[in-house]
Amino acid sequence: MFDGLKDKLSNFREDAEEVAEENAEALDSDEADDGETADGAEADAVEAEAAAAEATAEAEAESEPENAEAEPEGDSESGGGFVSKASSLARGRVVIDEEDLEEPLRELEFALLESDVEMSVAEEILDRIRDDLAGEEKKFTASTGALVEDALRDALLSVIDVDGFDFEDAIADSEKPVTVVFTGVNGVGKTTTIAKLAKRLEDQGYSVVLANGDTYRAGANEQLQEHADELGVKLISHEQGGDPTAVVYDAVEYAEANDVDVVLGDTAGRLHTSSDLMTQLEKLDRVVDPDYTVFVDEAVAGQDAVNRAREFDDAASIDGAILTMADADSQGGAAISVSHVTGKPILFLGTGQGYDDLRKFDPEALVDDLLEDED
């Protein structure tokens, strides 16, 4: 899963690590050419010289009048700049310059965009890495690979791990019945995802009723009925062309009368530009007032899924998302981007056609997998 993105992130780690090591080697070589670090004794001399220079600079600063003009910046190369580098070298440390990171960061940006990561999300990741690495004094003795990996991990988590809610905790804590409505475009596996979630909830001890609010698609009742029969749960449905709000409303009344814990309501696949269908969704929200609205789309849709998530959130205020076909997605752009652009969490990933092929979305586990070294 997301193997293409994983490879691209690995390439960045290698490039950035090489830059950091070259920077350290270059500094070491420059000082050696000046005869400052020929051996251990001379390294001690460099440290002493740097300390003396720093002390002199401090003394001069204290003796200068308060209104004295500042030294031109150009002098820092031969004065403070040398002191900083010499002192850093003597302590076994180096400063990673931002300009040294620009080439690997540019390559990472291209790689993220190629993986269908939304542009603003890619920029956020780059800015976070730049802030974490550039201009910071790092130990020579520390693993540069670990340094880069930590920065990359923090950057990825900053865009994936949004403030949200845990779906299963919400079900446990909510007054019953809990009503969940699912929305999205046609053909993304919404109905199958509802059946998977019904199975997952039943395995956790909850009772479930399904509601087919997709009253316009031919065969929708039959498809969801097959899942209901397979799972042994009740399905509430009306004739094709009926009012979807009435279907979900009837399912809620059934749940209340029969002490059913969770209502899972399907809706017609729609685009945000389908004004009639969006009006129906607004009516459903107004009349039924579901506890949660979940957006479903394919992980493999990449940037399209990201754009649709944003549009549906603007139109219907989703509470979270489920991405199907994650097992077939090598790019990972949707999984990286959806939470950031909507501010709403990804709840689950669909990883196959079986009822048990629904994985709870864990941002930290995802990042661990993306950064895992291949054997």
Q: What is the pLDDT of residues 233-266, one digit of tens each?
A: 999 998 877 888 999 999 999 999 999 999 999 9
Please say whether the dihedral angle defined by the alpha carbons of residues 194, 196, 200 and 202, taken in this order, is positive or negative. Answer: positive
Q: Residue 265 is part of which domain span?
A: 167-362
pLDDT in the model for residue 369: 87
Query: Do 62 and 153 belong to one domain?
Result: yes
Q: Cα angle at 42 between 40 and 44, to 5 degrees?
A: 75
Answer yes or no: do 117 and 25 share one domain. Answer: yes
Residue with the bigger pLDDT between 176 and 373: it is 176
**189 in Cβ contact with 197 (< 8 Å):** no
Question: What's the angle, vertex CA 334, arms to CA 328 and CA 335, rounded to 5?
Answer: 80
Res. 366: pLDDT tops 80: yes
What CA–CA distance (Å, rounded) separates 230 from 375? Answer: 41
pLDDT above 90 coverage of the chain, percent = 33
Mean per-residue pLDDT, 84-103: 59
Q: Are both 211 and 354 inside the same structural domain?
A: yes
- Residues 189 and 222 both lie in one domain: yes
Is 262 inside any structural domain? yes
Q: Does 58 share its domain with 180?
A: no
Please state, rounded to an integer, the average pLDDT across all residues of the chain.
Answer: 79
Distance (Å, rounded) from C-alpha 374 to C-alpha 138? Answer: 26
The residues near 90 (Cβ < 8 Å, ≥ 6 apart) are 43, 44, 46, 47, 50
Last residue of a domain, one of 160, 187, 207: 160
- Domain boundary (137, 160, 183) is at 160
CA 64 vs CA 20, 68, 81, 82: distances in Å: 38, 6, 20, 21
pLDDT tier for residue 35 given thresholds of 50, 70 and 90: very low
Same domain, 242 and 183: yes
Average pLDDT over residues 116-134: 88
Residue 372 lies in a domain: no
Higher pLDDT, 355 or 27: 355
Question: Which stretches does DSSP call E strand in 218-275?
Answer: 234-236, 262-267
Q: Which of 27-31, 69-73, 157-161, 290-294 has the lowest mean pLDDT?
A: 69-73
Q: What was the pLDDT predicted at 269?
A: 74
- Tell me what percent of the residues of the chain surpass a pLDDT of 70: 73
| pLDDT band with cut points at 50, 70 and 90 for residue 194 | very high
Residue 375 falls inside a structural domain: no
Q: In the sheet where 208-213 sits, what is the strand order?
A: 234-236, 208-213, 262-267, 178-183, 292-298, 320-324, 346-350, 358-360
Q: Do 146 and 176 belong together in one domain?
A: no
CA-to-CA distance for 149 and 162, rounded, in angstroms?
Answer: 21
Distance from C-alpha of 93 to C-alpha of 24, rounded to nearest angstrom: 8
Contact 337, 118 (CB under 8 A): yes
pLDDT confidence bin for 170, thresholds 50/70/90? very high
Rounded Cα distance between 222 and 271, Å, is: 23
The pLDDT score that the predictor gives to residue 75 is 44
Domain boundary among 160, 183, 202: 160
The DSSP bridge partners found for residue 320 are 294
One domain, residues 103 and 176? no
CB 184 within 8 Å of CB 194: no
pLDDT above 90 for 208: yes
**In this structure, is residue 213 part of a structural domain?**
yes
Same-domain check for residues 301 and 325: yes
Residue 140 pLDDT > 70: no
pLDDT at 51 over 60: no
Whether 123 maps to a domain, the answer reads: yes
Between 292 and 152, residue with greater pLDDT: 292
- The rounded distance, in Å, linking the Cα atoms of 125 and 127 is 6
Q: Give buried/exposed letters for 35-65 (b at 16+ CB in 10 A, else e).
A: ebbeeeeebebbbebbeebeeeeeeeeeeee
Q: Is residue 146 part of a domain?
A: yes
What is the DSSP secondary structure assignment for residue 79, as one 8-state letter? Answer: T
pLDDT the model gives residue 21: 66
Q: What is the CATH number of the domain that holds 173?
A: 3.40.50.300
Query: Is the peptide bond preceding residue 104 cis, with omega within 30 degrees of 0?
Result: no
Instruction: Flag whether 370 is in a domain.
Output: no
Please give the backbone phi and psi of residue 164, each rounded to the nearest 5 degrees, phi first.
-160, -145
Clarify whether residues 12 and 132 are in a common domain. Answer: yes
Give me the pLDDT at residue 77, please. Answer: 42
pLDDT-derived band at 176, boundaries 50, 70, 90: very high
- Specify the pTM: 0.77
The structural domain count of the chain equals 2
In this structure, what CATH number is given to the domain that contains residue 78?
A: 1.20.120.140
Same domain, 288 and 318: yes
367 lies in some domain: no
Asked if residue 316 and residue 175 are part of one domain, the reply reads: yes
